Structure 1
Amino acid sequence: MDFRIRVTIDSMKNFSSLLIIILLACTFQAKSQEKLIDRVVATVGSGIILQSDVDMQYSQYLANGGTPTEDFKCTALQQLIMTKLLSQQAALDSIEVSESEIDDQLNARMREMTRRAGGKERLEGFLKRSLLQYKEEMRPVLSEQMKAEKFQNTIISKVTVTPQEVKKYFEGLNQDSLPAFNTEVEIGEIVVYPELTKEEKNVFRTKAEGFRQQVVDGTDFGTVARFYSEDPGSANQGGEYDFAPRENYVKEFSAMAFKLKPGELSPVFETEYGFHFLQVLERRGEEVKVRHVLVTSKPTQASLDRVKGKIDSIYDKVQSGKLPFSTAATLLSDNKETKFNGGMVINPQSSSRSTLIPVDLLEKEVFIAIDSLEAGQVSKPYQFQDPRSGKSGYKFTYLKTRIPPHKASLEQDFAKIQEAAQEDKTRRSLSEWFEKKTKNTFVHINSEFATCDELQMWITNDTNNLASSKED
């Protein structure tokens, strides 16, 4: 890949991701010890950045597998300064984040941290504090980060590129070292999941009823959830989900959760995932904290045989031309993500929702299914398991386009080049904003960071400010 395209894409991703990172784990014990020897390493307008803030970012970097290097602290301080500048401008522009927005972010991050730690108790032991105390400590940090991100989005949202700008950007690249793209395809799919009969479902309902009866008989709910719940997102936490609004759940689950009083135990009920029973732990306005047990409804061989007959029938109609693929997908596919797109699959790594997908991103079974197809053909139906939901079913795949390996060109790769041009212009717009902002904002950086290349713009500005002060 051409160096300038690589730098544009990678730097933009790093710039955005680093700017919105909030370090929510791993370092609070060390941070509390450092408070005794903490010091200011940078002043940004009316705000300060502490050594412990930088060390906190470095600790998270190491926790995520980063290679130990003091150079990262330069990058960490750079990002903290940028966040301060953005959040201060957000305050001037009256950009706010609501308490519910902060709560949603905190709860989502707490769920992920709890999952990684292996349970609430283990996480609290690691943090040396209750999750409630931890969340309150993080609230102002998260608020500042979210305001910074919101203001950054007001800058980014105004950036667009015209076809002429895309062409100019492409022509400005080194034409002798343009990237070579691997084989890419456009594919569609029609998916059908098995439906269980009432008798088949009763096996799983009865199992859930048995677990519920254990709770009624006095067994701790959390214990039952840890041992028997088949929800990977909550079983290790005793079935708990933190405060969330009703739209966070499927309709049957939210309907049950929001009609019960705290402490009440629900009857067993069904959702698309299987059979549940839940208990409301606490209500807070339009949010509820619950715990539940899930027994997933697994397909029986009989249900798989039935769905195989159904997918074969759909395949015959498409293959014979009696039913266009896009129509069949819209009317008959069970894949909610693709059926209203004519069955076409979106490249998961494309910000512009391109349908061109490099073959190395395809799941193995999909690659095998289309490998021998010509454009316009469909594969025979095959059984699969969704890697995210774990649901089993049958599908067949349509190959719309196959583009062989090639050197980048405007004709074949306009969408990708447009993305790169957009990211390049966005990066330049943000850089210009920071450069302009630093001319009007006092930024002072501790001399310890004077050799950091990333900070030279602010160090130079700091030197100029000091020189101006002496002249005055």
Structure 2
Amino acid sequence: MRKFGIIFLSCLLTFTLAYAQRSTLDKVAGVVGGSIILKSDIELQYAQYLANGGQPNESIKCLALSRLLTQKLLAQQAVIDSVTVTDDDVDGSIDRRMRGMMQRAGGQERLEQFLGRSVIQYKDEIRADVREGLVAERMQGKITEKVSVTPQEVKRFFDAIPKDSLPSYNKEVEVGEIVFQPKLNKEEKQFYKDKAEGLRTRVKNGEDFGTIARLYSQDPGSAPDGGDLGFFDRTGMVKEFSATAFKLKAGEISPVFESEFGFHFLQVIERRGEQVHARHILVTPVITPGSLERARAKADSIYTLIKTNKQVDFSTAASVYSDDKETKYNGGMLLNAENVQSRSTLIPTDKLDPQVALIVDTMKVGSISKPQLFTNPQDQKSTYKILLLRSVTDAHKANLAQDLPKIKENAQADKFNRTVSEWFEKKRKNTFVRIDPEFQSCKELKDWVSTPQTAQVKP
């Protein structure tokens, strides 16, 4: 941990120096349309790369200039096409970035020491850059929003792949689950609610909220920062939390309330439009032997119901009885975590939870397991699950019959990339572009350097 802190401090000192140099470094590294990119902009991005744990590598500066040129060109087109982002979008992006930096630095106070400025001041300084980046991202989405592939295009894409270059796919399975989480009864919960009430009383009596949060809050993400959650909108937290936060005025402390994470109370620090800056203290209940036994008994009864009542299949039971919100509305089927957007239920066996993989390996296709106890390795929480093995696909070379969804996704990605590349090629030919000689040898910039209107910038 000490070594990590030294590295982070070194990176952030570089980052701070680079930011301070913005006012004195005026060498133009590139021009695209009516926008200029200073060398200090590139140094700042390189310092951010180092601060995020990257290894020293000068070619990253070439990539940074390429990204900035791309961002400027997209942002200029966004003005023409009236593509915008809201203040809430910008606030949310900045807050996510700052939470990551604070976590790596070891809290807000240490980050501010490293930066030599307050977090609020730093947020204001990067706001314009963040907004432009979001606008550029949205503009690129507009360029590809109508791109789709036909079955004929998918086949042409597949047929164009050399036979000796076809990808191989590992063994894949489709697995469903019905999850039974142990739940405390009213009497068992009261102990933890009373504990949260006691902490709230201490804060109301004058003890420092941040100190109490650091000592007693059981939210690992915010406790080191004194419970600080940054800004969030109404969709950024669970409903009980948002409903409470948006009722309060700045400085007010909420009553104790319950969410799926436990018992909280919070304090609103600042309101800004449809965003709230708040901090909280969380008390997480501990599962009791009694609650675990109740979960096992319920799992056994649902397993018996599925096996004996032909009108209740696995999918129906999952939607009614499962406690897992991510799978219950999908018939209990697990999604491939590496390909969530496609909502694929095909999961390579080496990507399954090892506990699930061990049980599935002994099952036949179409069979349902008896309730089994599972323990989450991250938080050590226990649940009972009933598993369904819906299908098994053995390892094989890619083919259209078995792998159409994957091939279609790859064909669409290829068409997306070609559409964006063609757009940039056309825009570059009709946009004034100049690259400083220092960067013209960068292979990452060859498309920009070869633009017909490119001219050297005088040092």
Q: Give the secondary structure class of the aligned counterpart of 1:190.
A: strand
Match of 1:349 among 338, 360, 372: 338
In structure 1, the residue matched to 2:355 is 365
In structure 2, the residue matched to 1:423 is 413
In structure 1, the residue matched to 2:316 is 327
Match of 1:87 among 75, 87, 103: 75
In structure 2, the residue matched to 1:11 is none
Q: CA deviation at 1:77?
A: 1.4
Contact map agreement 1:359 1:367 (CA 8 A) in 2: yes
What is the one-letter code of the residue matched to 1:347?
N
Q: Give the secondary structure class of the aligned counterpart of 1:294.
A: strand
Partner Cα separation in structure 2 for residue 280 and residue 68 of structure 1: 41
Q: Aligned pair in 2 of structure 1 residues 284, 372: CA closer, same or farther (>3 Å)?
A: same
In structure 1, the residue matched to 2:49 is 61
TM-score under structure 2 length normalisation: 0.92
Q: How does 1:446-465 map to 2 (within 5 A)?
A: 446-462=436-452, 464=453
In structure 2, the residue matched to 1:19 is none
Contact map agreement 1:326 1:343 (CA 8 A) in 2: yes
Q: CA deviation at 1:234?
A: 1.2
Q: What do residues 179-224 of structure 1 show as CA deviations (whole Å, max 9, x unaligned)?
A: 1111111111000112211110011111112212221232111000
Partner Cα separation in structure 2 for residue 241 and residue 95 of structure 1: 30
What is the one-letter code of the residue matched to 2:88?
S
2:112 is the counterpart of 1:124: yes
Contact map agreement 2:102 2:111 (CA 8 A) in 1: yes
Gaps of 5+ in 2: 1-10
Q: CA deviation at 1:51?
A: 1.1
Q: For structure 1, which segment, 154-163 or 375-384, has the greater mean C-alpha deviation from structure 2 after superposition?
A: 375-384
Contact map agreement 1:24 1:138 (CA 8 A) in 2: no
Match of 1:396 among 380, 386, 392: 386
Give the percent of matched residue pairs that are identical in Structure 1 and Structure 2.
53
Contact map agreement 2:18 2:43 (CA 8 A) in 1: no
Q: CA deviation at 1:466?
A: 5.4
Q: Give the secondary structure class of the aligned counterpart of 2:251.
A: coil
Partner Cα separation in structure 1 for residue 163 and residue 309 of structure 2: 44
2:87 is the counterpart of 1:96: no
Q: CA deviation at 1:396?
A: 1.8
In structure 2, the residue matched to 1:232 is 220
Q: CA deviation at 1:241?
A: 1.9
Q: CA RMSD in A?
A: 2.1
Match of 1:50 among 9, 26, 38: 38
Q: How does 1:369-384 map to 2 (within 5 A)?
A: 369-384=359-374
What is the one-letter code of the residue matched to 2:91?
D
Partner Cα separation in structure 1 for residue 129 and residue 85 of structure 2: 12
Q: Give the secondary structure class of the aligned counterpart of 1:318.
A: helix
Size of the alignment, in residue pairs? 444
Partner Cα separation in structure 1 for residue 78 and residue 132 of structure 2: 9
Q: For structure 1, which segment, 152-161 or 274-283, has the greater mean C-alpha deviation from structure 2 after superposition?
A: 274-283
Q: CA deviation at 1:160?
A: 0.6
What is the one-letter code of the residue matched to 1:451?
S
In structure 2, the residue matched to 1:40 is 28
Q: Aligned pair in 2 of structure 1 residues 215, 442: CA closer, same or farther (>3 Å)?
A: same
Q: How does 1:97-246 map to 2 (within 5 A)?
A: 97-246=85-234
In structure 2, the residue matched to 1:12 is none
In structure 1, the residue matched to 2:6 is none
Q: Aligned pair in 2 of structure 1 residues 339, 26: CA closer, same or farther (>3 Å)?
A: farther
Q: What do residues 136-164 of structure 1 show as CA deviations (whole Å, max 9, x unaligned)?
A: 00110011101101100001212111111
Q: CA deviation at 1:31?
A: 2.5
TM-score under structure 1 length normalisation: 0.89
Gaps of 5+ in 1: 1-22, 468-472
What is the one-letter code of the residue matched to 1:283?
R
Q: Aligned pair in 2 of structure 1 residues 170, 221: CA closer, same or farther (>3 Å)?
A: same
In structure 2, the residue matched to 1:5 is none
2:277 is the counterpart of 1:289: yes
Q: Give the secondary structure class of the aligned counterpart of 1:288.
A: strand
In structure 1, the residue matched to 2:401 is 411
Q: CA deviation at 1:167?
A: 0.6
Partner Cα separation in structure 2 for residue 417 and residue 25 of structure 1: 46
Q: What do residues 113-141 of structure 1 show as CA deviations (whole Å, max 9, x unaligned)?
A: 22222211011111111011000001100
Q: CA deviation at 1:94?
A: 1.4
Q: For structure 1, which segment, 253-262 or 93-102, has the greater mean C-alpha deviation from structure 2 after superposition?
A: 253-262
Q: What do residues 269-295 of structure 1 show as CA deviations (whole Å, max 9, x unaligned)?
A: 211211111222222333222221110
2:321 is the counterpart of 1:339: no
Q: CA deviation at 1:261?
A: 2.8
Q: For structure 1, which segment, 312-321 or 202-211, has the greater mean C-alpha deviation from structure 2 after superposition?
A: 312-321
Partner Cα separation in structure 2 for residue 26 and residue 201 of structure 1: 49
Partner Cα separation in structure 1 for residue 131 and residue 316 of structure 2: 46
Q: Aligned pair in 2 of structure 1 residues 292, 25: CA closer, same or farther (>3 Å)?
A: farther
What is the one-letter code of the residue matched to 1:173?
I
Partner Cα separation in structure 2 for residue 392 and residue 127 of structure 1: 42
